[in-house]
Every structure is written in C-alpha cells, then in structure tokens.
Amino acid sequence: MIEQSSGNIYADLGQSEAEEMQIKSRLAAKISEIINKSHLTQTQASEVLSMPQSKVSNMLRGNFRGISEAKMIECLNLLGRDIQIIVKKASRSHSEGHTRVIFA
C-alpha cells in the first residue's frame, strides 16, 4: 500500500516533535551544505562553530537531538549567513500557527 506523505517525514512516522525535527533537519542540511561548499573539514567547522567536533559530526549525520534550534541559527550566523524571523498571523484555515524554514 502506498500512502501520500504529509510533507513532514517525522509526522508521517508519528514523532511527537515532528515540526521541530523537520526544522532542525532543514537547518542541519543547510549547515552541511555551507560547510561542504566552504571546503571545511569537521575539525575546522568545529572551530568556526565553537562546538566539539563530535557534535558537528553528529549534526551533519542527522543526529541533532542535543542541539537547539537557537544553536543551529547561531551556527548559520557564524558561517556568514543572515537570519530573519518573521512572525505573522496564522492563515484562516489554521487555528494555530506553524513554523517553517525558507532559504533565500
């Protein structure tokens, strides 16, 4: 049987913190992309990001449970990226708001 995805693999798998996990996975993917494009080793990246190399390694492998969204945003800043957070009223079709990550 084939099921259509909701767009969030973590929600599809029944994870309790699905939205947060999807946000973290997108942030980690962008951090990984920047590190790769910058040709940084994990050791060099750990120095730039002020994180132990083991945490950088875990994050780049998708194991980011011990790393907050705030730390990931800080990492993007340290890698030379600006971050904008926009808060707006939820659409009429939703009773509560949602968080998404959009890369420009």
Q: What is the mean pLDDT of residues 52-68?
A: 92
Q: Which residue has the tokens 């999807």?
A: 22
pLDDT band at 73 (very low <50, low <70, confident <90, very high): very high
Helices (H), the chain: 9-12, 18-37, 42-49, 53-60, 69-78
Q: What is the mean pLDDT of residues 4-12?
A: 73
pLDDT band at 46 (very low <50, low <70, confident <90, very high): very high
pLDDT digits (tens, 9 = 90+) for 75-100: 999 999 999 988 888 887 777 777 77
Q: What is the pLDDT of residue 11?
A: 67
- Superfamily for 9-78? lambda repressor-like DNA-binding domains (1.10.260.40)
Domain ranges for the chain, please list them. Answer: 9-78
CA dihedral 63, 67, 74, 23 (to 10 degrees): 60
